Structure 1
């Protein structure tokens, strides 16, 4: 009798999942390729169907609607956008960021290896291809941060054909790390990459987005689509070869298997599944991206992003709730079973708490590692310009408040281009790493060494006046000149030294040191120039 009552209660209270299928559409940013593998695999492996969704995946590319516009018009339900999605939000458009697939953008400039272009500064006066905003936002912001106005470049709209770089029709081609380099390797054309990330511009890319009304009116459908898509991405990254074969067969037959494999490996480095939870978005990082657009005039309006970033819903284990209710109703009939159930649920709760703490700790660790990657120059291991500017602004405020001296040394390696030309770029990279290590070993813990770009470095020295900074610069100059890095290479450097003055901003401080560095190079290189020395030379 007790068993019969229990089974009747289970049938009455246990939830029956809804099996109705809803049709939704997804607009891709570009042509079918591994860039969208997660959505294909969610479709092919049945993750969407399991979530009660029938998904239409629409190819992007030339001649197709822009994803954000198609989504806002209601033509599609979901779209893939870059970090420029936040510009639409700042313009008052009701867009919502659901998940960021790429933690770093693949957008780069590609230049010929036989050109004299090494840094963004070298693009002045050159022919440059750019996609329209916001697709080229990272490249445009890099130019602005380097102080290069677009009017100084010969800009043309991208042709989407890297053959123009091979034929010499352009000096810099805007492309993807995951795409054009493969094609250029096949053409056996040597090239160089100018990556915005190395200049402190590190934005999200391939952001899954929808409109605000869909989140409000169909929250369960939005959540189901996100989870199924992320499951598809997890599968695609864990089964790359299977995914490549399927994409080639059903979606991108015109793209070779070798190209798809190259793309998959390149994108995996940008998605960082080993470090960051798939789809993770950091509100602070989105705020930094929004502020960058606003400061550089690429967007106006408020940068409040509370409604822009989607908040994932915590899945409730309804089975536990119903089991508890069933146990309570059966308590009068089977007291012993209730006691056993209580112990089981307690253990389950402890395991769940432990699991959530582990997930939170893993997320914290991955955020710290991601922050370290964003703040550290990949080649030399020193700070990026973005991290340097953050610390330098803080030190300037301290100097203003307490009257502490603050010095800055700007130096670069003499005739570095000749090293690259005569010995190759691998040797050039070796020189940059070893110079940075030698310099860093001579500095105090409070001093900050930053790779400013190319062969240029900056040292920020808190609690240091001009006289002591000049002594340190001269010490570093002699150190580099005294001992060759190896039997083939002698390295010297030129230094510009200045001291912060009250009322002076960071830009003015760096500019002053840069001018002194330029003077040192004009005077013959391998020397130190400072304000005092420069002033003395102007006296009759």
Structure 2
């Protein structure tokens, strides 16, 4: 809001005050006309993570389309590769001004090294395991005892964390360094190849070799990748250069993603002639899925997500400490160019004294606004906490602590979609406690509740982390087993049946349980799968209880 100027009778100012005002305005004008730090004419050096390919298209396009030059910068792009310097080491040694790193950049920061993350280009990592379609490997647990290629940490951190979260120790794998040759997978020299979604799958498709991906994202592990970084000294001494380079690079990335074919042609012609145009196009489309420009602002970084990534490296033993990331994320020119701010404020200090009353008024309003914002954030947090609590109550059975029917149905529909997409096995076990009404009638409902809870916890302790156990109602329970075929599920059901029957719940009470096992068939709905399991559970009851029955689909009728 502008303040109207009201004419007042002229009154002579003291000589010293007039001089001070002119001096203050003069300094302010000088600061605005002559910036404190002109952009340096020296050539800036950017170190890539790997050899030239579409993975670095944004930087090529920023250079070739003149975006760096328009920002007053001269830039040299250095390729990476086995013989090139490691990007973070080259950055810290002062050999380059900027570097492309993976999320392992945060490890250097936690070690006290002065690295700064400027922008995260890929919102998700392309790192995966690639297995042959005929290998019988569908999930991380299937890698036990297998020959597995694994990059050194932190390049393979996502894969290592997936193993850790899935309860699979590295000692149970036959680990070898990567050969960077997918022929080793095709020829059977390894069972799982550590690769990129944007690279090796193209070659396998060209060779018409069926394959399958084990992607950490499907197991809740999702790291940033290709992070543009600098060191604190560059940011401190040349903040305008850092901002100009970052914005020109992001502009280059936007151009590359908006003009993929033009970018592919240029990269093939000037940077990577050894890569075919088809391979570069494939890489471009796959990387665009990881950059997600339609959903996320280019270069976006979430402090909370970085903190989660830092904690994951601590969990893996790759880093130590509390994971304090203060100063790690670049906050933009307004937060970093403090020297220019101080110079402008110092030169204009005397002039601002004339507006002191207005400034105090604004300070008061700002304080009130901050209090209101704080109260609103607290209310929003309370609402989020309340919603989480309501969601927990809706999805958790209060007696046993197991999932409710609603929660199981949500997860089961997702698992059916995954099984459909990747041709994975999926089984469902329906079981209930035999003659449970007798327990309630003879010992009371309170004792019956203790029996239900004890049986539930006993069953839960035997299941895999990926299995889902739900109390369906009364004494009925359901187990959903992803990545398990009928034979595997039947073995598990028999193990659980023996466990329930062999161990009394109390000194006076022992129970048994009957189990129905069914395997999902392509095109089958969750309701149909449950009906199959329920049908054979009823058959187990008819045949004497304390047994398992497996659903066998009816044989197709011969045409007459």
Q: Place the TM-score, normalised by the shorter chain, in its bin.
A: 0.5 to 0.7
Per the TM alignment, residue 395 of structure 1 is displaced from its structure 2 partner at its CA by 5.4
Instruction: Give the secondary-structure state (helix, strand or coil) at the position aligned to 2:317.
Output: coil
1:107 paired residue among 119, 127, 135: 127
Q: Deviations over 1:423-445 (max 9, x none)?
A: x975765987x99xxxxxxxxxx
CA distance in structure 1 between the partners assigned to 2:108 and 2:516 by the alignment: 46
Structural mapping, 1:31-430, within 5 Å: 31-314=51-334, 405-408=400-403, 429=423
Counterparts in 2 of 1:471 and 1:61: CA distance versus 1, 3 Å: same
CA distance in structure 1 between the partners assigned to 2:274 and 2:106 by the alignment: 33
Mapped contact 2:268–2:275 kept (Cα < 8 A): yes
Counterparts in 2 of 1:237 and 1:12: CA distance versus 1, 3 Å: same
Q: Deviations over 1:262-300 (max 9, x none)?
A: 000000010000000000000011111111111232211
The residue aligned with 1:473 is 478
Mapped contact 2:158–2:216 kept (Cα < 8 A): yes
Counterparts in 2 of 1:250 and 1:313: CA distance versus 1, 3 Å: same
Per the TM alignment, residue 217 of structure 1 is displaced from its structure 2 partner at its CA by 1.4
CA distance in structure 2 between the partners assigned to 1:168 and 1:430 by the alignment: 22
Structural mapping, 1:515-526, within 5 Å: none
CA distance in structure 2 between the partners assigned to 1:143 and 1:294 by the alignment: 15
The residue aligned with 1:458 is 468
Instruction: Give the secondary-structure state (helix, strand or coil) at the position aligned to 1:473.
Output: strand
Per the TM alignment, residue 455 of structure 1 is displaced from its structure 2 partner at its CA by 12
Per the TM alignment, residue 256 of structure 1 is displaced from its structure 2 partner at its CA by 0.3
The residue aligned with 2:379 is none
Counterparts in 2 of 1:154 and 1:261: CA distance versus 1, 3 Å: same
Counterparts in 2 of 1:52 and 1:68: CA distance versus 1, 3 Å: same
CA RMSD in angstroms, aligned pairs only:
4.4
The residue aligned with 2:42 is 22
Mapped contact 1:294–1:300 kept (Cα < 8 A): yes
Mapped contact 2:166–2:465 kept (Cα < 8 A): no
Aligned residues: 381
Mapped contact 2:404–2:472 kept (Cα < 8 A): no
Counterparts in 2 of 1:287 and 1:79: CA distance versus 1, 3 Å: same
Instruction: Give the secondary-structure state (helix, strand or coil) at the position aligned to 2:119.
Output: strand
Per the TM alignment, residue 95 of structure 1 is displaced from its structure 2 partner at its CA by 1.1
Counterparts in 2 of 1:256 and 1:490: CA distance versus 1, 3 Å: same
Q: Deviations over 1:356-389 (max 9, x none)?
A: xxxxxxxxxxxxxxxxxxxxxxxxxxxxxxxxxx
Counterparts in 2 of 1:20 and 1:138: CA distance versus 1, 3 Å: closer
Task: Please list every run of at least 4 consecutive aligned residues from structure 1 whose deviation after the TM superposition is greater than 3 angstroms.
Answer: 11-20, 402-405, 408-412, 424-432, 453-457, 466-470, 489-496, 519-522, 525-529
Counterparts in 2 of 1:472 and 1:79: CA distance versus 1, 3 Å: same
Mapped contact 1:178–1:262 kept (Cα < 8 A): yes
Per the TM alignment, residue 188 of structure 1 is displaced from its structure 2 partner at its CA by 1.1
Counterparts in 2 of 1:220 and 1:163: CA distance versus 1, 3 Å: same
Q: Is there any run of 5+ residues in structure 1 with no aligned partner, and where?
A: 1-8, 319-390, 413-419, 436-452, 461-465, 478-488, 497-515, 530-535
Which segment drifts farther, 141-150 or 19-28?
Answer: 19-28
CA distance in structure 2 between the partners assigned to 1:230 and 1:259 by the alignment: 24
Q: Is there any run of 5+ residues in structure 2 with no aligned partner, and where?
A: 1-25, 341-387, 409-415, 429-462, 494-511, 519-531, 538-544, 547-560
Mapped contact 2:131–2:137 kept (Cα < 8 A): yes
Mapped contact 2:149–2:175 kept (Cα < 8 A): yes
Structural mapping, 1:1-12, within 5 Å: none
Q: Deviations over 1:43-80 (max 9, x none)?
A: 00111111111111110111111111111111111111
Counterparts in 2 of 1:428 and 1:305: CA distance versus 1, 3 Å: closer
Mapped contact 1:119–1:454 kept (Cα < 8 A): no
Per the TM alignment, residue 457 of structure 1 is displaced from its structure 2 partner at its CA by 4.7
CA distance in structure 1 between the partners assigned to 2:311 and 2:516 by the alignment: 36
TM-score by length of 2: 0.60
Instruction: Give the secondary-structure state (helix, strand or coil) at the position aligned to 1:185.
Output: helix
Mapped contact 1:118–1:454 kept (Cα < 8 A): no
Instruction: Give the secondary-structure state (helix, strand or coil) at the position aligned to 1:292.
Output: helix
CA distance in structure 2 between the partners assigned to 1:490 and 1:300 by the alignment: 44
CA distance in structure 1 between the partners assigned to 2:464 and 2:62 by the alignment: 42
Mapped contact 2:239–2:333 kept (Cα < 8 A): no
